[in-house]
Amino acid sequence: MTDLGSGTIYTETVVYSPPEAYVNDVPYQLAIVELDGGRRITGRVAGERAHIGDRVKFAEFRNNVPFFSKAIDQKQS
Amino acid sequence: MRPVAVVGIGKTAFGAFPDRDLRSLAVEAGQKALENGHANASQVEAFYLGNFAGPSFVGQNHLAPYISNGIGIRDVPATRFEAACASSGSAFFHAASAVAAGLYDIVLVAGVEKMTSQTTPKVTEILAGAGDLCGEVRAGATFPALFAMIARRHMYQYGTTREQLASVAVKNHQNGAKNPLAHMRKVITMEQALAGKPIAEPLTVYDCSLISDGAAAVLIMPLERASEFTDKPVRVLGIAQASDNVALDEKDDITTFRAVQMSAEKAYKMAGVKAADIQFAEVHDCFTIAEIIAIEDLGFVPKGQGGPYSLAGGTCLNGERPVNTSGGLKSKGHPVGATGVGQICDVVQQIRGEAGERQLKRHTLGLAQNLGGSGATSVITILSAE
């Protein structure tokens, strides 16, 4: 699978009222990440809560869903 | 193109009706619209239906003839339109365009949805089908989540606050409490709205419209024939539909709905009016943030001022520009396929002076804004006293 690299949170939310398929996941953080190449993608943020403008790093695909985590280095590379 | 008029309106109450099926709701609204327009089913030359997800909510397909024959309309074309929450707005746009073009004279347009027979997670999943299933929805997006992300970005770019969002809910509940057909006829306080159960941050249950059953219908015809049927024809002065990307992450700026701006611009031009001329509006407040963005995109207030304007009372019944005097989707209810035509019924009711304790003093030029999904379809209808 492709490594999506790093990006910046464009917008985000934490979901409490899930669709049927994700009733066991709540609460979960969903975000639109602006990848460093400029493309935006919707995915999940695992671990520490991220806010608009935060730097995130691609972690893995789970069932074709991209998961990101907040980057330790918050400076734009 | 011929001028088109609305001559009859009919609505069921919106609410949770475990004993009513989809067809009986739509038939009731259709028959009321015919009765209100002093017409018979045998005079109807075409039937247009808006319905988002009848096949998913109740398993029934082939809805348009199923309903039209229930109303007593026989033999003529009967067609269903699906454009998410703008399904019946879109049906109305196509019906009005067909009458304007001279294809038919007398046309019935209805919208219906029967949602409450499913659990909330199942309804959430069915509604999410109006988003991009291969991207955002697979990642876990629900409609509240999509609008929560829109709200977050609007707050970030324009300083919109939780109080400003909540003020939309408080105002719409004040109006809906006075609407006998509304789903949730209760006043809520700012404190309640702010302390609501979280659905998708920053939206609480009070920022979200209701899951409802209901139907609405209108009878339309060329303006030149309207006097045969009614003393109070309401003219369709301008109407336009526009589209945009379905996926939120494919839109350049999610704090504005391009399709709303495009369709509003076209409808204003067709009507020969400016945003400032519109006296009142029914807008698509599926979520509180959607009403704030709607009044910006419609040009009622400058970009970013929707929140402060709402909190200051500009959109209240006695405000400068009343918005959602019906109670909006928030309090009146949101049976998604019925919403677009329902809004048109509400605007017509104000123009005719039949809105009871919600009646406005300035009520001759109104607008309805019906939004599909997170902005991929928009229908704007401008209505005026003849």
- Give the per-residue pLDDT at B386: 78
Burial class of residue B119 (count of CB atoms within 10 Å of its CB; 0-12, 13-18, 19+): exposed
pLDDT category of residue B304 using cuts at 50, 70 and 90: very high
- Give the per-residue pLDDT at B339: 98
Q: Coil, helix or strand for B285?
A: coil
Q: Mean of the pLDDT values across residues A49-76?
A: 94
Find chain A residues with C-beta within 8 A of B202's C-beta.
13
| Chain A residue nearest residue B126, CA to CA | A19
pLDDT digits (tens, 9 = 90+) for B72-110: 999 999 999 999 999 999 999 999 999 999 999 999 999
Q: Do B200 and A41 touch (CB under 8 A)?
A: no
Token couple for B5: 């008029």
Cβ contact B342:B381 at 8 Å: no
Q: Is the peptide bond before B121 cis (omega within 30 degrees of 0)?
A: no
Distance CA B35, CA B27 (A): 12
Distance CA B268, CA B380 (A): 9
- Give the per-residue pLDDT at A76: 64
A residues 6-65 closer than 8 Å to B (CB): 10-23, 25, 28, 30-32, 40-44, 52, 63-65
Q: A30: which strand partners?
A: A13, A44
- Give the per-residue pLDDT at A2: 87
| Sign of the torsion formed by the C-alpha atoms of B51, B55, B59 and B62 | positive
Q: Mean of the pLDDT values across residues A23-32?
A: 96
- Give the per-residue pLDDT at B218: 99
Find chain A residues with C-beta within 8 A of B201's C-beta.
13-14, 16
* Whether pLDDT at B240 is above 80: yes
Q: Coil, helix or strand for B369?
A: strand
Reading phi first (left if > 0) and then psi (alpha if -120 to 50, else beta), residue B63 is in alpha
pLDDT category of residue B119 using cuts at 50, 70 and 90: very high
How close A31 gets to chain B, by Cα (Å)?
8
Pick from B120, B152, B203: CB nearest A12: B152
Count how many Cα atoms sit within 13 Å of the Cα of residue A40 in the half-sphere of its side chain. 16
| Chain B residue nearest residue A66, CA to CA | B139
Token couple for B306: 């929707």
Q: B273: how many CB neighbours lie within 10 A of its CB? A: 17
B208 catalytic residue (yes or no): no
Q: Percentages helix, strand, coil for chain B, rounded to the nearest 5?
A: 40, 20, 40
- Give the per-residue pLDDT at A77: 53
* Whether pLDDT at B311 is above 60: yes
Across chain B, mean pLDDT equals 97
Best probe of the A interface among B152, B162, B256, by most A CBs < 10 A, is B152
pLDDT digits (tens, 9 = 90+) for B190-203: 999 999 999 999 99
Find chain A residues with C-beta within 8 A of B247's C-beta.
42
Q: Percentages helix, strand, coil for chain A, rounded to the nearest 5?
A: 5, 50, 45
Active site residue: B154, B183, B334, B363, which one?
B334
User: What global pTM score does this model have?
Assistant: 0.97
Q: Do A19 and B128 touch (CB under 8 A)?
A: yes
ipTM > 0.95 for the complex: yes
pLDDT category of residue B362 using cuts at 50, 70 and 90: very high
pLDDT category of residue A20 using cuts at 50, 70 and 90: confident
- Give the per-residue pLDDT at A74: 83
Percent of chain B with pLDDT over 70: 100
**Helix residue spans in chain B (DSSP H):** 22-36, 54-57, 63-71, 87-101, 120-128, 143-158, 162-176, 190-194, 223-226, 258-271, 288-297, 306-311, 328-331, 336-352
- Give the per-residue pLDDT at B164: 98
B334 catalytic residue (yes or no): yes
Cβ contact B205:B287 at 8 Å: no
Percent of chain B with pLDDT over 90: 99
